[in-house]
Structure formats: structure tokens, C-alpha cells
Amino acid sequence: MMFYPLYKVKSITLPIVSVLLVSITLLTWQVFHPKRLVSLNITSLLLGILWAVHITIKSHALAGNPLAFLMVSLLCILFISTIAFINDFFAFILNTLPVALVIFWFAHGENTFRFALAIALPTLGIAIQSIIQKRNESFTYRLMDKLQEEKNRYSDLSMLDPLTGLYNRRGFQNRFDSIIEQSSGPHYILLLDVDRFKSYNDHYGHSMGDQTLMRVATTIRDAVRSRDIVSRYGGEEFLIMLTNVNSDHALQSAERIRSHVYGLQISHQFNDDESDYLTVSIGLTPLDNAGLEQALILADKALYDAKNRGRNKTLTANMPEQG
């Protein structure tokens, strides 16, 4: 286009120099400022106008009817635009439209069909490619969203006990760490064990035992606040963290759990001579600067003492029995 071989007129126009300078400037800008993107639509329109001005200047400089020059110019621009804006249909249109208008103007109605066909074919190709790309991007985004949902779901499941739906030990630790980071307390640790659960399983069967654990888990969860952590610590043992409570409220919460479980009136024949309802024993201790492990040791000792004192009791570490 700068040096068209069929004519002796050879000149480098200001617009073609501007195209070169704009291209180099934008390329340099992107190299040194990769996160500050330049508008592709504005760039494509600017370059399209510069190409159109260049073709206008060259057409005036050529003697006679410059149809051959116009056709070659159009094909060159379509080729460049297709390579540069193959992934952006709107940018492609903005880049080629000024050139197409100038060429139709200088053609004076001659070879209109050829010019239109030359423009229509690559435009149609870019349009189809753009539609396919958008569908692929939409599918990819949907797939990524689905994978993220699955990842989150499996991450949640890995922190939940499959039988009761409560947190498992991993889930408890995760919530515990989050709460400790956000609040200094006071917090209380509560260990709960279903009394004589082995004999319950032996007498009623493991299927009934599982159903009972699910009922107990639901009762515990309903008896505390949503901000408290309730987890299945293992087997028939549950671990609860009561957050931001004083000693009186912590003891009241533990007693409420114990009484609500007994209030389920789940029959439990734990030997041949006696029949009663299912009960739980609870060990309670404050969470102090000694940390979770020490609190668990103290709560476990209180729980063991509650068992030895007849079960269906709440004991706070180093305090008299309740219930």
C-alpha cells in the first residue's frame, strides 16, 4: 500500500507513519505497563481512520481510476485486521469500517459487488469465530463455577461428620481457629458422652444406635446458639465450644443440653433389671491461656468424674456436680 507496484507514485504518507508510531507506542506501553490495558476498540478505530486517510491521499495522487489500488488496499487491510482482531468482532468492524467507506467512495459504484464480497467473507468468518469463542468462554466459565462449587462442597463435607451433619474434629479445629482469631473470649469447652451407649447398641442394634446419635446431635445443636461450635468428637462423644459466655451461662447451656437429651425419652434398657431413658454426662471447663489441649484434658476429667458419680450429670472442672 505504501509502494504500489503498478504505479510510479511512491510516497510515505503521514498517516502511515502515524500507524507505525501508534503501534510501537502501544506495544511499548503494554510491555512496561501490562496491567494497565489500552482500549482495544479505540485503538482499532484510530488505526482504521489512519489507514483510511492514507488510502485517500494515495488515491488522489494516482492518475486515472485507481480500482486496482483500492482492491489491493482493501485486501491488505482485511488481512491485517483479521490477524490483529480475530478474537474481537467489534474491534474488527471498527478497524475496517473507515477503510471500506473510503474505498466505496473512490470506487464510484464500480465493482461494488467485488468490494462487498471481499468485505463480507472475512467479516462473516470473524463473526462466526466470535460466536464460537463466546460459547466456549461461557462453557468454560460455567465449568469453572461448577468445579468451584464442587470443590467447596467437598471441602465442606471433609469437615462434617457424615452421620450427624455436625463438624468433625477437622471442622471443629477450623472453626476454633477462626473464632480465636476474632475473639479473646471468655469461651468454654464442653465434652459430652452418651451414657452406656455400648449396651444401647448391643440391645437395640447399630442401626437404631445411629438414629439415636442423630437425634442427640440435633438436640445438642438446637440447645446452643448458632455461633457456638458443635462437633462429633468420636463415637458417642461430642465436643462443644461455647463462645463469649460467662461461667453461669456456660453451666446453664450444659444443663439445658443434658435435660433436653433426657427429655427425648429415648428408652434405654441398659441391663436386665432396669429400664430408663437415654442420658448424657457432661464435663465443662473454661478455655484459658493454657490452650485447647489442656482444656480438653480438664473437660475429659470432669466428664469421667460425672460418669463415676452416677451419670446424667454435668460437672465443671474443679467444681461440685450439677444435676
Range among 56-65, 209-218, 266-275 with highest mean pLDDT value: 209-218
Q: Which string of b and e fits 137-173 if b means at least 16 CB within 10 Å?
A: eeeeeeeeeeeeeeeeeeeeeebbbeebebbbeebbe
Domain ranges of the chain: 14-140, 169-322
CATH of domain 169-322: 3.30.70.270
- Helix 206-223 with 197-204: angle, nearest 10 deg: 130
How far is the C-alpha of 150 from the C-alpha of 142, rounded, in Å?
Answer: 12
pLDDT at 65 (0 to 100): 66
Residue 38 Cα distances to 26, 29, 31, 42, 85, angstroms: 8, 9, 12, 8, 14
Q: Is the pTM of this model over 0.85?
A: no
| 236 classed as catalytic | yes
85-108 tens-digit pLDDT = 888 888 888 889 998 898 888 888
Evaluate if residue 166 carries a pLDDT over 60.
yes
Q: Which candidate in 137, 150, 236, 237 is catalytic?
A: 236
pLDDT value of residue 273: 58
